[in-house]
Amino acid sequence: MRNKGAIRLLAIVFALVSLYQLTFTYVTKKVEKDARLFGAGDIKKEQTYLDSIRGEKVYSFLGLRGYTYKECKELEMNLGLDLKGGMNVTMEVSVVDIIKAMANNSKDETFVAAIAKAKQLQANSQDDFVTLFGKAFSEINPSAQLSSPDIFGTLELKDKIAFGATNDEVLEVLKTETESAIDNTFNILRSRIDRFGVAQPNIQKADVSGRIIIELPGIKDAARVRKLLQGTASLEFWETYTASEVTQYLNVANEKLAGINAASDLSSDVKEEVAEEVKKEAKADEDVALLDKIEEGAQDSLSDLQNAKEIAKKYPLFSKLNPTQRGSSKAVVGMSHIKDTARVNNIFAMPAVKSILPRNLKLLWDVKSMDKGGNFFELYAIKVTSRDGKAPLDGDVVTSAREEIDQQTASAEVSMSMNGEGAKIWARMTKDNLQRAIAIVLDGYVYSAPTVQSEIKGGSSSISGGFTIAEAKDLANILKSGKLPAPAHIIADEVVGPSLGQESIEKGMWSFIIAFLLILVYMFFFYSKGAGLTANVALITNLFFIFGVLASLGAVLTLPGIAGIVLTIGMSVDANVLIFERIQEEMKSGKGLGLAISDGYKNAYSAIIDGNLTTLLTGIILYIFGEGPIKGFATTLVIGIISSLFAAIFITRLFFEGRLKRKSNITFTTKLTDNWLRNTAITFIQKRKVFYVISAIAIVVSIGSLSTRGLNQGIDFKGGRTYVVAFDQPVVVGEISKSLDAVYGHAPEVKTFGGNNQVKISTKYKIDEEGIEIDDEVEAKLFEGLKQYLPTGTTLESFLENNRKMSQKVGPTIADDIRQSAVLSILFALIVIFLYIMVRFSNWQYGLGAVAALTHDTIIVLGIFSIFKGLLPFSLEIDQAFIAAILTVVGYSINDTVVVFDRIREYLGLHPKRDPEGVIDSALNSTLRRTFSTSLSTLVVLLAIFFFGGTSIQGFTFALIVGVVVGTYSSLFIATPIAYDTKLRIQKVIAKKK
């Protein structure tokens, strides 16, 4: 093998990178274990511990650089919602509301009718709403103009839509404005998510215009998430106090709290309230044993205090809020550690403290931390100047905002323009607040508080403050978000409780461990301690590389992802099997061990690359068209294929080369497996019509069942809501269905899920309606229908908290998108595979045979799911995971088929004058050992996942098991015979023409 040194170096670097990335996961788990021990079951104490060390260095890699807990957390391997628990939300910005707002809610008949028709068209179209609106408008009244004063020719849009502009020009402006609104909504949601305190949140724009997908691992309060995410953005401009104007009040508040127990002028209820607060603060300090910075002027007087408890008693406010130095003209009155911000809020909300502070004073936190570690946040003093308590200026007046670079200072700044009304108020505010700060506030957090240098007339301003380009861009986006005309609505959400997550991860890991051990045992048994042991070392190395790459890329590991890794390991055995079988053939032809190994690798490359490349293409298509868990599965599948190829081809070769150098003997079989399927003589081509009949019957029965019984379409495709509910005692699904029929007006689908005391309920009740109140109504009716099966005294709140392990909502629009993406995935995969095989084998008949076999496999798997629908003790739902299974079957089957085709091509090249039928039969028989080993090892893996992987993926795994069996059959008995018959028929047609 050439370049052994380079390959060895690459393997070492690969291993070190993987080790480096995985150590962050180890460190965070260790820190969190310490937090659990410290908390002793108290979640608040546990979180306090983690907050206290958030910015502290907890790890150093080889002494080169120290990492804080926060940095380690960002670099650890991400666990998906099904493994960690949490919430997945799909939100959609209402483009309809945006267009209406831009037209000032026009009552023009053509406009109103076009909006209504576009809504109808959207249900069955993938075009964006603006395009559909344009089509509808032209169809309803071809002569109508969108630029007319009654529609979009408004005063607000005069700078963007010229008088007499064509409809196409107006539509382009609408598209630009709606995209801008979506971007602004994305920025607002990202800002809100950042304040959730969620570790490793994920927020991204979906391929469908207007959609935003949010993943919140660890979130338990779904109602709070829905309320916060769906709230309308509120951008405001506030006048401020200076720190020197507020400090005296803070001092009085601190003194009053400190002497609360001795005060005689307070009522007993206030005493108890404050005393309890002081006691709570002192206890927290005593537990954490951490004192933040306090006011420099008070430091000397505190130096003689011995512990945090005494400090909290004497300085109950300043031990949590480090006050700004006296005499400061800034609007910042102090700063606190992140763990203390909620406590400071509680102190200022106490009646005893509120009575001291000015009535027109509001205290708001900065949205960003003042230090790199993300530990300390500043508190701003906001001045309320209006009688109604509202901001003097809100975001509606902002017409544009953009980041720029100051040519003189080369620093980033933000340029902002306002409309006429806003410009007048802005001029007054800036005139009255010279050399004072004006706070820019969004959703109750201060994003910037620039100091006014001079009166600003005309509404055009420049905001500077030592911004980076990224910070200036973020602020510009925030300012633009103030004119957001429509909120985002949740169109799909899924809540996975921690108990389900724990169950999933335990079962997923057990299936993984068992499957992996079975593969190691099988390889050792079939290929002896020589080659088998080497293959096992490669498999372990491959596993290490896969997890290392996943951690490096920041990929999210989900339960389908674990299934993808396990399946990849099972399929990666194929490369080793191909190599080992080739080496054995070379040795049986009389070659020495060294030459046999060299030629074995060389001759196996073609089949390995072709087989894995087609599977890789399937994985890439799966990733491009898939959503949610499908992407997680595809990610691990693609990474696993690449990693397994490196391990099987190069790692094993390095081991063999090392043993050859030491003149060690290497065995590739055992006595029991040496002659297994070695000299078979099955006449595949001669018996092809028998298999045609068998397959035709299976396909007809499958199509018949699909036409009559149909498929059990999951919530992903139908739209609706599903709930998984656990009971104390076994229940009868028929009775549950009748009880819910009485409250919903229709009998929802109810089925056992995991055990006879747990059911999965799917309902379409009010699925077309949106809003938190609708979600609450559906859940309330669910509780009403199930109340008779619950323990006496169960309340709605306790039912939702303790009994509902998972809920999922999918609107009909998103269900349509998923259905279309699924169909496109399969069709596109078939087309790509056909083209690849046609080009690779320079023969379109091979491509036709492969695609025919894949179509055959897909129809039969669908047919089996239809035939056995409702007859098996586990769910056979057609959902996103099932589509992932179908595409995996396609990838596996094509891998098997391509290996067979590769051997046929080789044999036909070696024996061009022999009867093609006999040559093809010989080629197929020569692949049986490899087909047996690969199929059996893959089935072993899938059976382990099926029995030990948990209820949630049994249907997914069942589809893979059926697919592997059917795919192996079609590779041998369908793909090759069809390619042979097609070629034979064409030859006969050509012969007749001659």
What was the pLDDT predicted at 911? 86
Residues 181, 323 within the same domain? no
Contacts of 413 (CB under 8 A, 6+ apart): 403, 404, 405, 406, 462, 463, 464, 465, 467, 472
Query: Where residue 789 sits, what CATH number does that domain have?
Result: 3.30.70.3400
Cα–Cα distance for residue pair 660/652, rounded to 1 Å: 12
Please answer whether residues 9 and 19 qualify as being in contact, where contact means their C-beta atoms are separated by less than 8 angstroms: no
The pLDDT of residue 270: 44
Co-location of 354 and 298 in the same domain: yes
Structure tokens at 722: 């599903």
Return the residue matching tokens 């108020």: 425
CA atoms within 13 A of residue 423's CA, in its CB half-sphere:
12
Residues 6+ apart with CB under 8 A from 840: 610
Q: Are 642 and 553 in contact (CB under 8 A)?
A: no
Residue 483: predicted pLDDT: 53
Closest CA to 238 of 331, 321, 326, 347: 331
Sign of CA dihedral 594, 595, 601, 607: negative
- Provide Rg for the chain, Cα atoms: 34
Q: Same structural domain for residues 347 and 465?
A: no
What's residue 952's pLDDT? 63
Calpha distance 781→799 (Å, rounded): 12
In this structure, the answer to whether residues 754 and 657 fall within a common structural domain is no
Do 703 and 689 lie in a common domain? yes
Please state the rounded mean pLDDT for residues 529-546. 88
Q: What HEC string does 855-876 produce? A: HHHHHHHHHHHHHCCCCCCCCC
Residues 6 or more apart from 189 whose CB is under 8 A from it?
91, 203, 212, 214, 229, 488
C-alpha distances in Å from residue 963, one per residue of 327, 700, 838, 886: 76, 18, 24, 8
Q: For 289-307, write each residue's pLDDT tens digit.
A: 333 333 333 343 334 434 5
Task: State the helix-helix crossing angle for 629-646 and 880-910, rounded to 10 degrees.
Answer: 30
Confidence of residue 754 (pLDDT cuts 50, 70, 90): low
Q: What is the pLDDT of residues 581-632, one digit of tens each?
A: 889 888 888 888 889 998 888 888 888 888 788 778 878 887 877 665 567 6
Is there a single domain that holds both residue 126 and residue 265? no
What is the C-alpha to C-alpha distance for residues 732 and 647, in angstroms, rounded to an integer?
51
CA neighbours closer than 13 Å in the CB half-sphere of residue 486:
24
State which amino acid sits at residue 433: N
Output the DSSP codes for 254-285: HHHHHTTTT-SSS-HHHHHHHHHHHHHHHHHH
How many angstroms separate the CA atoms of 764 and 719, rounded? 7
Residue 301: per-residue pLDDT:
37
Given a contact cutoff of 8 angstroms between Cβ atoms, the answer to whether 676 and 929 are in contact is yes
Tokens representing 340? Answer: 């203390």
What's the maximum distance between 2 C-alpha atoms anywhere in the chain? 118
What is the rounded CA–CA span in Å between residue 972 and residue 579? 20
CATH no. for residue 962? 1.20.1640.10
pLDDT (0 to 100) of residue 268: 44
Q: Are 674 and 527 in the same domain? A: yes
Q: What type of residue is 975?
A: A
**pLDDT > 60? residue 327:** no
The answer to whether residue 116 scores a pLDDT higher than 70 is yes
Q: What is the pLDDT of residue 697?
A: 96
Position of tokens 């190829």?
645
Name the least confident of 162-166, 766-770, 894-898. 766-770
The confidence score (pLDDT) of residue 264 equals 40
- Token couple for 233: 């953005």
**How many other C-beta atoms are found inside a 10 Å radius of the C-beta of residue 306?**
7
More confident site: 480 or 575: 575
pLDDT value of residue 568: 75
Between 873 and 9, the higher pLDDT residue: 9
- The CATH number of whichever domain residue 455 belongs to comes to 3.30.1360.200
Q: Is 763 within a domain?
A: yes
Q: Are residues 750 and 764 in the same domain?
A: yes
Contact 483, 396 (CB under 8 A): yes
556-557 and 78-79 strand pairing: parallel
The helix or strand, by DSSP H or E, that contains position 947, with its residue range, turns out to be: helix 928-948
Quickly count helices (H) and strands (E) in the chain.
Answer: 35, 23
Average of per-residue pLDDT across 667-679: 83
Tell whether 361 and 406 lie within a shared domain: no
The conformational region for residue 863 under phi > 0 = left, psi -120 to 50 = alpha, else beta, is alpha
Residue 663 is assigned to a structural domain of this protein: yes
Please give the average per-residue pLDDT across 634-643, as a whole number.
Answer: 85
> Two tokens at 275?
């005393």
Cβ neighbours for 579, distance < 8 A, ≥ 6 positions apart: 600, 601, 604, 608, 648, 649, 652
Does 694 share its domain with 821?
A: yes
**Contact status, residue 231 vs residue 487, Cβ threshold 8 Å:** yes
Say yes or no: 186 and 96 in one domain.
yes
Percent of the chain exceeding pLDDT 90 equals: 13
Residue 959 half-sphere exposure toward CB, CA atoms < 13 A: 28
Report which DSSP code applies to 454.
Answer: S
- Domain ranges, residue 54: 4-76
Q: State how far the alpha carbon of 382 is from the alpha carbons of 431, 442, 476, in Å.
A: 17, 13, 22
For strands 804-810 and 755-763, give the pairing: unpaired
pLDDT band at 261 (very low <50, low <70, confident <90, very high): very low
Q: Distance of CA 471 to CAs 276, 474, 477, 972, Å? A: 41, 5, 10, 61
pLDDT at 720 over 60: yes
Q: Is 90 exceeded by the pLDDT of residue 516?
A: no
Going by C-beta distance under 8 Å and a sequence separation of 6 or more, which residues neighbour residue 170? 146, 147, 152, 161
Average pLDDT over residues 394-415: 81
> Within a domain: residue 26?
yes
Read off the tokens for 797. 């709140």
Weakest mean pLDDT among 491-500, 559-568, 789-798, 942-951: 491-500
Residue with the bigger pLDDT between 396 and 115: it is 115
Residue 740 to residue 723: CA distance in whole angstroms: 12
Q: How many domains does the chain have?
A: 6
Amino acid at 602: K
The CA distance from 477 to 691, in Å, is: 64
Is pLDDT of 413 > 70? yes
pLDDT for the residue 54:
75
pLDDT of 328 reads 60
Are 264 and 313 part of one and the same domain? Answer: yes
Token duo for residue 669: 């079989």
Q: Where are the beta strands (DSSP E) in 243-354?
A: 322-323, 332-337
Phi, psi angles (nearest 5°) of residue 785: -70, -25
pLDDT of residue 380: 94
Residue 82 lies in a domain: no
What mean pLDDT is predicted for residues 311-324?
Answer: 81
For residue 878, give the DSSP letter.
B
The two tokens of residue 98 are 């945006």
* 765 domain-assigned: yes
- Pairwise pLDDT comparison (813 vs 780), residue with the higher score: 780
C-alpha of 612 from chain center = 26
Mean pLDDT of the chain: 80
Residue 337 pLDDT class (50, 70, 90 cuts) = confident
pLDDT of residue 870: 78
For residue 807, list its beta bridge partners: 495, 723
Is residue 918's pLDDT more than 60?
yes
Measured CA to CA, the distance from residue 563 to residue 554 in angstroms comes to 18
Boundary of a domain, candidates 19, 44, 76 = 76
Q: pLDDT per residue over 424-437, tens digit each?
A: 999 999 999 998 99
- Predicted confidence (pLDDT) at residue 50 exceeds the cutoff of 50: yes
Among candidate residues 810, 832, 848, the one where a domain is terminated: 810
Has residue 234 been placed in a domain? no
Which pTM does this prediction carry?
0.66
- Average the pLDDT over 266-285 and give the result: 46
Is residue 741 included in any domain, yes or no?
Answer: yes
Residue 220's pLDDT is: 61
CA 324/CA 332 separation, integer angstroms: 7
pLDDT of residue 666: 85
d(CA 926, CA 921): 9
- Residue 329 has a pLDDT of 62
512 vs 419, 504, 537, 615, CA distance in Å?
A: 61, 12, 17, 21
Give me the torsion for CA of 324, 330, 336, 341, rounded to 10°: 130
User: Under DSSP, is residue 623 helix (H, G, I), strand (E, B) or coil?
Assistant: helix
**Residue 505 pLDDT class (50, 70, 90 cuts):** low
Q: Do 455 and 431 touch, CB atoms closer than 8 A?
A: yes
Judge whether 921 and 911 are in contact, CB under 8 Å: no
For residue 533, is it within any domain? Answer: yes
Contact present, 810 and 775 (Cβ < 8 Å): no
Out of 79-88, 315-324, 519-528, 938-947, pick the least confident.
79-88
The pair of structure tokens assigned to 715 is 């919530």
In whole angstroms, give the CA distance from residue 500 to residue 505. 9
Of all residues in the chain, what percent are helix, strand and coil, respectively (each to 5)?
60, 15, 25
Q: For the chain, first and last CA: distance in Å?
A: 51
Half-sphere exposure of 82 (CA within 13 A, CB side): 24
Adjacent-strand bridge partners of 332: 380
pLDDT in tens, 457-494: 888 888 877 677 877 887 787 777 655 556 677 877 77
Does 545 score more than 70 pLDDT?
A: yes
